[in-house]
């Protein structure tokens, strides 16, 4: 399973990248706004900086909702750097645009996916990644991880090549459950990724080993 970080914060991307386990980055307009990136030139520049930092796919989201505009915006995003993947929302014109990008060799990530039916459409349209938002599904009293398992089963039965990118991750446990359910990728904020490191018995065991090591120094 690949690890992407879900942020536009350069310090956090660097920290995850320095761990040596980072395979890519996802962003969205809210994450860009959170780090104060405004205006086309600043947005383009920020995507370029991120794409140059990591050796892997970097999702950059379109903010258009009409087919022609999505395609034009996507072409511009694609031109920024070879690592850029065009992130397209799960809407009717988005599906048409996913097919166009797929036919024209531009990698895509279909975002804002909340059902198996939407995931089937994204795969049919040739999306490289499909992003079910599991945390937001949990928030609405459904089981986000269950959706990952359902999509994984459908894609396996049907032979779809679209990768399942579990998004809206809220905890280290989410990451473990997504690995179990068959996600190809998780995209997570830094904290849940670092949360995977933690176990109290590791801390207790290490403290003892270090204390005992002092005895024979």
| Tally of residues, the chain | 217
* Residue whose CB is less far from ligand E4P, 57 or 126: 57
If residue 195 lies in a helix (H) or strand (E), which one and from where to where? Answer: helix 190-195
User: What ranges in 54-143 are assigned the alpha helix state H?
Assistant: 67-80, 92-103, 116-124, 134-139
Q: Given the rule CB under 6 A, which residues bind ligand E4P?
A: 6, 26, 28, 111, 131, 133, 135-136, 167-168, 187
CB of 61 to ligand E4P, least distance (A): 8
CB of 136 to ligand E4P, least distance (A): 5
| Residue of 111, 65, 107 whose CA lies nearest to 88 | 111
| Separation CA 45–CA 37 (nearest Å) | 10
The CA-based angle 37-78-18, given to 5 degrees, is: 60
* Residue whose CB is less far from ligand E4P, 133 or 155: 133
The catalytic residue among 14, 34, 48, 87 is: 87
* Residue whose CB is less far from ligand E4P, 6 or 57: 6
Give the 3-state secondary structure of residue 170. coil
Annotated active-site residue 87? The verdict is yes
Q: Supply the residues annotated as catalytic.
A: 87
């Amino acid at each position: 399973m690949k690890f992407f970080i879900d942020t536009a914060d350069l310090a956090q991307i660097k920290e995850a990248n320095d761990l040596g386990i980072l395979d890519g980055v996802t962003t969205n307009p809210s994450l860009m706004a959170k780090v104060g990136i405004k205006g086309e030139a600043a947005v383009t520049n920020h995507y370029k900086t991120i794409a140059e930092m990591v050796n892997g796919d970097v999702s950059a989201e379109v903010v258009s909702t009409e087919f022609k505009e999505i395609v034009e915006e996507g072409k511009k995003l694609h031109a920024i750097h070879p690592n850029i993947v065009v992130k397209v929302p799960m809407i009717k014109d988005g599906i048409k645009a996913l097919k166009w990008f797929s036919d024209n060799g531009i990698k895509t990530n279909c975002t804002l996916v909340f059902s198996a039916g939407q995931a089937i459409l994204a795969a049919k349209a040739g999306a490289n990644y499909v992003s079910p938002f599991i945390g937001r599904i949990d928030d609405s009293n459904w089981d986000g991880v269950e959706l990952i398992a359902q999509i994984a089963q459908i894609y396996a039965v049907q032979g779809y090549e679209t990768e399942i990118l579990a998004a809206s991750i809220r905890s280290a446990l989410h990451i473990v459950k997504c690995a179990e359910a068959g996600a190809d990728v998780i995209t997570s904020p830094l904290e849940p990724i670092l949360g995977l490191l933690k176990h109290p018995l590791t801390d207790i065991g290490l403290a003892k080993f270090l204390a005992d090591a002092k005895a024979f120094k």
